[in-house]
Chains A and B, each alone.
Chain A
Amino acid sequence: MAVSVGGSSEYNSEINVTPMVDVMLVLLIIFMIVTPLLQSGVSVNLPRDMISPDEDGDITKDTSVIVAIPDNNNFYIGKEQFPLTELGEIIKRRMEGKTPEKRIVYIKSGVEVDYGRVVSAIETIRKQDIDKIGLVADRKKGVEKPG
């Protein structure tokens, strides 16, 4: 990034952008660090490279209910861990006053979890009069949804 100004009798009228670049890089690093922290909930090894899941912006909304099952022993809603027996109460409370179309509970389950654990969570959810489940999965990059 050398800049050479030829001649000796000229003014060097360059703006020194180095501090600006410094500041921007620092901002960049700050955002890189903050972004993962902003993620709500626990980290789950979601199913990846799926071809056909539908995008749903509601998943990231604060009002939607997401049950996270990172492993065979734990159930989380948000960042808090709950035993299976209490799950129903909390879902019921969070679902109060939602319109029928919005009565959907999202499940973020790790791929290594036994299906039986997921089913037991779904069973609890079903008891709250909810028949729609959103199974959160990552879509394969660069694949457009077929037809």
Chain B
Amino acid sequence: MGMSTGGGDGAKPQINVTPLIDVLLVLLIIFMVITPLKPSRFEAKVPAEPKDELQVNVKPNPLTLVVAINKETKGITLNNEPFGDVSDTEKLENRLREIFKERENNGVFRENTNEVEKTIFLKSPKSVRYGEVVKVIDAAKTAGASPIGLQIDDLTE
């Protein structure tokens, strides 16, 4: 970072900007590191509280996808079919993607709308780590599931 002004006639005024650039670069790097820390979140929906009244009119939706986590084996099931486990969510992701693609091609819409039905419900025992549940949510979201519903009633321990 040396700078030499050769002899000759008259002074050549020059500002040494090198330290300034150093500092600015450091600032730049710091901001670059901070910026990706923008907060992000998964939006999840929670079904309304179950009423005591009998819900006679509710008919089960055949398009409902229920993702469940097994407490002991940490296996994931989609509508009771096993698809990998929490350490390997790729199987689930691929299967969900297939299902959604199929529905898009066949025009399977949510009732009374023209949106493709991509709702999934997530059911997990209470003793499973939150981190593992979020991993499954991430896989489902990556496959395109939306909205994601969390079942919070009648969960096993």
Residues of A within 8 A of B (CB): 1-7, 10-15, 17-18, 20-21, 24-25, 28, 32, 35, 47, 50-57, 59-60, 69, 104, 106, 109-119, 122-123, 125-127, 130-139, 141-142, 146-147
Contact = CB atoms under 8 A, between A and B. Distances in A.
16 contacts: A1-B16, A6-B4, A6-B5, A17-B16, A20-B20, A25-B23, A47-B138, A53-B42, A53-B138, A114-B130, A115-B133, A116-B127, A118-B133, A119-B150, A132-B44, A136-B39
A7 to B, nearest CB: 4
The 4 residue pairs across chains A and B that have the minimum distance between CB atoms:
A116-B126, A111-B131, A7-B7, A13-B13
A4 B41 contact: no
A117 B131 CA distance: 12
Interface string B62-91: 000000000000000000000000000000
A70 B137 CA distance: 20
A41 to B, nearest CB: 11
Contacts of B99: none
Nearest to A20: B20
Interface of B: 1-8, 10-20, 22-23, 26-27, 30, 34, 36-49, 124-135, 137-138, 141-142, 144, 150, 152, 155, 157
A122 B152 contact: yes
A interface: dominant SS: mixed
B43 A133 contact: yes
B126 A24 contact: no
Contacts of B23: 21, 24-25, 28
B40 A53 contact: yes
B41 A106 contact: yes
A11 B9 CA distance: 11
Contact of B129 (A1, A113, A137): A113
B105 to A, nearest CB: 16
A126 B46 contact: yes
Given A24-B23, A50-B138, A115 B15 contact: no
A131 to B, nearest CB: 5
